Amino acid sequence: MAKPTISAYLREHLEHVKGKKEPGPFLTISRQYGCDGFELGQYLIEKLNERDELGRWKLYYKELLKQLAEDTGLTEEMIEQARYSKPSLFKDFLRGLQKDHIPDGFEIRNKITLMVRTIAYEGYAVIIGQGGTAATYDIPNGLSVRIEAPKDWRIARVSIRGKLDKAAAAEKIEEIDRMREYLRSFYEEKNPRQPAFAMTFDNSIFKKEYLAELILLAMEQKELIAPAKK
């Protein structure tokens, strides 16, 4: 069986949206490293599908990177690294290892943006990271959320979860924050909206269950979902 490609992926999803009169509903979640992301998304999907008789809500997290990896023959780790690479440096290195065309960070970011926009238009999607907010800023029937927390709180959490001492946890956070800042500067060029996010939460104050309740309430008020049945 032939492996799936980006083109095949987009064709498959575009077939689903051709008959749609309007995009969405969808939710994008951006988060600082060390904050709730995947766990919050899973919890939200569970709650959203309790309200949707057809169980249509899906979570998109690393699936886009996996699809790109299958299409290019690279590993997900290489794709992720390329996303944060400055033009040509990473690509030139890979060209020395493979004869086939190797996408650079610009190409990868653009492909992910196209995939995210297709998924958002198809609707019933919770998209974590992947520049989802910038990619969908002009698509109606969505909600963008940002999860942040004080650095000390994130250091303590990464230290516990990763079984690292605080110095190592702090170094990891600084490295990833630096990489994401570079990526964010690229996406901000495509997202002129200010503020960039409809809602921003402090994860050190709100645990994921309460964050989910606040997000669901906001989705109700935006009429992206129906109120919960009493």
pLDDT tens string 126-162 = 999 878 888 888 899 999 999 999 999 999 999 999 9
Whole-model pTM: value is 0.78
> What angle do the packed helices 76-83 and 63-72 form, to 10 degrees?
100
User: Which residues make Cβ contacts (< 8 Å) with residue 187, sequence separation at least 6?
Assistant: 109, 131, 133, 134, 135
Cα distance between residue 63 and residue 183, in whole Å? 19
Q: Could you tell me the two tokens for 149? A: 């927390």
Dump pLDDT digits (tens) for 3-18.
455 556 656 666 665 5
Question: What is the per-residue burial (b if ≥16 Cβ within 10 Å, else e) of 190-214?
Answer: ebeeeebbbeebebeebebeebbee
Cα distance between residue 226 and residue 230, in whole Å? 12
Beta strands in 1-107 (DSSP E): 26-31, 58-60
Sequence letter at residue 104: D
Dump pLDDT digits (tens) for 161-214.
999 999 999 999 999 888 877 777 666 666 667 788 999 999 999 999 999 999
